[in-house]
Each structure stands twice: as C-alpha cells, then as structure tokens.
Homo-oligomer: A and B are copies of this chain.
C-alpha cells in the first residue's frame, strides 16, 4: 500500500534555484560538455520513473522474500534481477563513474538526488549498486591503470558488482585488531585468508562477478591500524582479456537475519587462500578504504532522507484520507480528515521541515565534493570532510525520527505490515549503525574534524553563514549561531584540559550542529524563493515550513546547548560496577 513519487520539483529547486549547481557545471571543463540544467532534469525525470514506477512498488515484496542462502549461494528476491538489469541498461550503475573507463561522469550533486530516489524506492536494493559505486571510487583513486582498465568498465556497466570487506567478528569499529592475513605469492599477488562479517552484497545472484575490496594484514605489518593493506579479491578470477576464469577461494558462509533491509545480503565471507591484488601502498589500506567510506557515508545520509521522504508522502496521503474526529463542524456522526488535527499537522510539519532541509544539505555537501573533485578546491574538500559525519549521522538520526513520526500518524495501521510504514522504520534503522555508527561519526566530527584544526574549517563554515545573515538578517538563526560559536570556543579550550569532554559531548554537539546547519539551509531557501520562477503555493509552503522549522524545530538546540554546558563528572566518575 506504500506509494512513492520522486519529489522532482523540490529537487530542481535545490539544484537549480537554491544552490544553482548548473552555473558550476557551466564553468567546469569536465562537466560543461556533459551536463546542463535541461539534461540534468531529463536524467532525474528518468531516474524518477525507474525508482517510483519500477522499484518502489515492489519494496514490500523484497522485504517479504528477503535473501535466501543455500550452500554458499545467495538468492535475491525474484524481481531484483529485472530491476537490476534496468539499472544497468539505463547506465545508472555508472552514473558518477569516470568517463575514461565507461562511467557517465555525472557530478555528486546530481547523483545524490538519484541516490535519494533509489533509497526511497528500496534501501536494500540500493545497496547492491551503492557498494559498487563506492568500490569504484576507491579503485579509481588508488589502483593502477591496468587494474582500472580491467575492472572499472565492468563495474560501471553493472556487469560486476563490488563490496567492502572490513569488519571481522571481533573487530567491528576497531579495525586495527583485525586478523585477516595477506601472504605474498611469488608472482606479486597475495593469498588472503580470514573471515569477514556483515559484508553487504558479499554474495548474490545479480551479477556475473563480485569484486571484493578486502582489508588484511601483511606478515610484516606494523601493529594496529597502520598495518592494514587493501586488496582486490574477485569472486571469479579475471583473465587478461576480461573474461572470467576459475572460482577464487572464497565463499559466503551464511547471511544475517536482520531487523530490516531483508533483501540486502549481509554476508559472512570466508577467504581461504583467495588470490588478491594489492591496491595502493602496503599498510596504507585504511586510507584507501576511507575514500570509499566517505563516499558511502554521504550515501547513508540519502538513506535517511529517502526513507523519510517516502514516509512523509504516505503519512500525508493517509492524513488526507483518514476520517476521525471533528475539526470543521459539529456533526457528531461525520468525521473530518485527521490532517485537520493540530497534532497531526505538527507531526507532518516536523517531518517536512527536516526532509526539505535535509535535501538542501545533501546538495550543499555534494557541491563541496564536486568542487573538490572537479576544481581541486582544497577548501571545499575540507568543508566536505567536516560535514561528512554530520551528513551521515544527523540525516540518518532525523531519518529514523521522521519515519517513526510518520508511522505514528497512521495510528494502529502504522504498526501493521500492510501499509509499509513499519518497514521504513526497520529499513532506515541500519543507516545509523553501518559505515561507522553515529556515535563514531560524532567522535570523528568533534575530535578529528573540529578540535584537530582548532575549529578552523568549522569557523570558515560559520563565517559563510554570518555573511549570508548579513545580507538577510534572521534573529533566531543569528542568535543560535552566536551561541554555537561561543560554545565551540569554550569546548575547544576546555577540551585541552579534559580529554573526556569532547567524546562525552560529541553526539549532542553533532546534533546541535545539524540543527544550526539545517537552519542555514532554510535561511538560504527563503532567499532563493522567487515569484517569477515559483508558484505562489510553492513559495507559501516553503515560507511556512521555514517558519515552523525556526520556531518549533530549531529551538531543540536550546536543550542541547544546556546539556553540553553541564559538567561531565557523573559520567566520568561512574565506575563500571555501578552501572
């Protein structure tokens, strides 16, 4: 019963009116031949068809069928083959790929809108091509040209897929203690042995080959995370002409039974002397893999937004159809749509205000990535690095909130499987966990991104917000910005004396940053509204939603500030046995 239409109007608004990405495309030598506003719109319209008409209507079926493991083989839901084939034929699997190797070369701003749609349609399905795209980024940046020439074209075309094999059962977020071994062979290749868990798309029936990017340790590797190397380990060996050779010595031992994304194969992968190729420098594997991780972390944000967008659409349509209670008249036998109830409006406006700011933020961060990639803009790269953990954690935390809130609009019907709302909650929940838990994102943000450069890159971002506020004053946002600046300065000073301060406040600080940045998004949205371009309803809707955000969402920041300012002593002094 769950439906979905891609929010194209809002996507166009964000790309072309708010952030005017087409202007950047026009100036970029790599992009101006490929893309203009019209082409981009046509691409997104096509993506909307695939996502909304082909994939989304079958997401419930995917949840019900799930993946099946039998004797090392993994079967995906029946319709996944057709859907995946359509992705390949439409060139979607290589959307952001390097044109030198057969990719379409599209910028991240455009790709992020496509990713959102695919996640709205079916998060589990989106992972098969999503992981591949991430693997391609890592290969394109770190592999030699011969390797790229062999692997990238088939990964971009979707003929093969990719994975990232990091986690081991005893080594989750702590990769330094991993045990998978890489033993050099005489021919320059390596023999990989070890067991990895939670490997998304580790085994499945959608592609002819699966290219695993595996982290492992060389025999002489230094201890800890500085002794990890990255290896390419194909499921089937690849001959010089690109044809498939014998089966490599690796197998899928089982798949996990999970809360959601049932149709995503989360595999235990056993490498038993599998042949692998070193990618990048020895012992520098973690850095190589982080190229992929950062790409994935932005896609995680799209999962939060995508699920929340679909949840909103369904809750809104239910709120218009469902008749309960009297809001317009006094006829006790005639009920009105629940959309008339203040609390239902409050729930929907909360979701709408968060989703639309999330979409703006997504394009904003993607644009920083594009400037880093296509223009070598170091400031933009630093900005993207700063915002990556916020995108991953804040967008997925708010994504879960939004799905739960939208589910609540349905009352009892939200809890039964028929309406699809409970699946959105179950599916989106994983995005807060994988690719680095949101707690780890917060630590990364507070310690590695903010404190490590003493707030320099963050302050550049804050200066940008100040500049925009000078052009268009907004007291609530200005006040929050000032409080935020003071708070961060205090934390940076106090954090030097109290090592537990930043780790303790990290999650609340990331949340607070998210509310501030989303406020910036709404501020710029208001500035971009134009009666010549936009309908009166579109403008009024954006204005009222922005007002709602500033008045009834952003003030949550006051609670976070109050918490961050408190002592951390209770947490520090709590001995383990007192828990």
A470 at the interface (CB under 8 A from B): no
A134 at the interface (CB under 8 A from B): no
A411 contacts B504, CB within 8 Å?
no
A399 at the interface (CB under 8 A from B): no
CB distance from A19 to the nearest CB of B (A): 23
A342 CB contacts on chain B under 8 angstroms: 500, 503-504, 506, 568, 571-572
Binds B, one of A110-118, A146-154, A157-165, A543-551: A543-551
Residue of A224, A352, A442 most packed against chain B (CB within 10 A)? A224
A348-B579, A569-B547 known; A173 and B411 CB under 8 Å? yes
CB distance from A322 to the nearest CB of B (A): 8
A429 contacts B415, CB within 8 Å?
yes
A422-B258, A571-B548 known; A579 and B433 CB under 8 Å? no
**Other-chain residue from B430, B437, B504, B576 in contact with A346 (beta carbon distance below 8 A):** B504
B544 contacts A570, CB within 8 Å?
yes
Residue of A347, A540, A555, A561 most packed against chain B (CB within 10 A)? A555
A258 CB contacts on chain B under 8 angstroms: 415-417, 422
A170 CB contacts on chain B under 8 angstroms: 323
Q: How large is the interface on A (under 10, 10 to 19, 20 to 34, 35 or more residues)?
A: 35 or more
CB distance from A210 to the nearest CB of B (A): 20
A551 contacts B566, CB within 8 Å?
yes
A69 at the interface (CB under 8 A from B): no
B259 contacts A425, CB within 8 Å?
yes
B257 contacts A416, CB within 8 Å?
yes
Give Cα A415–Cα B427 distance, bound, in whole angstroms: 10
B418 contacts A433, CB within 8 Å?
no
Give Cα A319–Cα B579 distance, bound, in whole angstroms: 11
B558 contacts A571, CB within 8 Å?
no
Give Cα A14–Cα B573 distance, bound, in whole angstroms: 24
Interface residues of A in 401-443 (CB under 8 A from B): 404, 407-408, 411-418, 422, 425-426, 429-430, 432-434, 437-439, 442-443
A10 CB contacts on chain B under 8 angstroms: none
**Other-chain residue from B223, B422, B561, B573 in contact with A333 (beta carbon distance below 8 A):** B223
CB distance from A327 to the nearest CB of B (A): 10
A352-B579, A422-B258 known; A560 and B559 CB under 8 Å? yes
Give Cα A99–Cα B375 distance, bound, in whole angstroms: 82
Interface residues of A in 85-120 (CB under 8 A from B): none
A544 contacts B557, CB within 8 Å?
no
Interface residues of A in 356-387 (CB under 8 A from B): none
A341 at the interface (CB under 8 A from B): yes
A442 CB contacts on chain B under 8 angstroms: 343
**Other-chain residue from B325, B439, B503 in contact with A174 (beta carbon distance below 8 A):** B325
A333-B223, A335-B174, A559-B560 known; A411 and B430 CB under 8 Å? no
A26 at the interface (CB under 8 A from B): no
A412-B434, A540-B578 known; A439 and B566 CB under 8 Å? no
A459 at the interface (CB under 8 A from B): no
Give Cα A573–Cα B223 distance, bound, in whole angstroms: 62
Indicate how many identical chains form the complex: 2
Give Cα A171–Cα B324 distance, bound, in whole angstroms: 7
A197 CB contacts on chain B under 8 angstroms: 412
B414 contacts A433, CB within 8 Å?
yes
A177 CB contacts on chain B under 8 angstroms: 323, 333-335
A438 contacts B408, CB within 8 Å?
yes
B408 contacts A437, CB within 8 Å?
yes
Give Cα A298–Cα B347 distance, bound, in whole angstroms: 25
CB distance from A34 to the nearest CB of B (A): 36
A58 at the interface (CB under 8 A from B): no
A439 to chain B: closest residue by CB: B343
Give Cα A319–Cα B349 distance, bound, in whole angstroms: 37
A256 at the interface (CB under 8 A from B): yes
A342 to chain B: closest residue by CB: B503
B570 contacts A412, CB within 8 Å?
no
**Other-chain residue from B340, B439, B561 in contact with A344 (beta carbon distance below 8 A):** B439
**Other-chain residue from B259, B506, B548, B562 in contact with A415 (beta carbon distance below 8 A):** B259
A571 to chain B: closest residue by CB: B345
Interface residues of A in 523-565 (CB under 8 A from B): 537, 540-541, 544-545, 547-548, 551-553, 555-563
- Kindly list 16 other residue pairs between chains A and B, CB separation below 8 angstroms, not including A343-B439, A412-B434, A544-B573: A176-B332, A177-B333, A177-B334, A198-B412, A258-B415, A259-B416, A266-B416, A316-B579, A339-B579, A342-B503, A343-B503, A343-B507, A346-B504, A415-B434, A422-B426, A552-B566
7 CB contacts below 8 A, A to B, read A342-B500, A345-B574, A348-B579, A537-B577, A544-B573, A552-B570, A556-B559
Q: Taking beta carbons and an 8 Å cutoff, which residues of A are in contact with B?
A: 167, 170-174, 176-177, 197-198, 223-225, 256-260, 266, 316, 319-320, 323-325, 332-335, 337, 339-349, 352, 400, 404, 407-408, 411-418, 422, 425-426, 429-430, 432-434, 437-439, 442-443, 500, 503-504, 506-507, 537, 540-541, 544-545, 547-548, 551-553, 555-563, 566-579
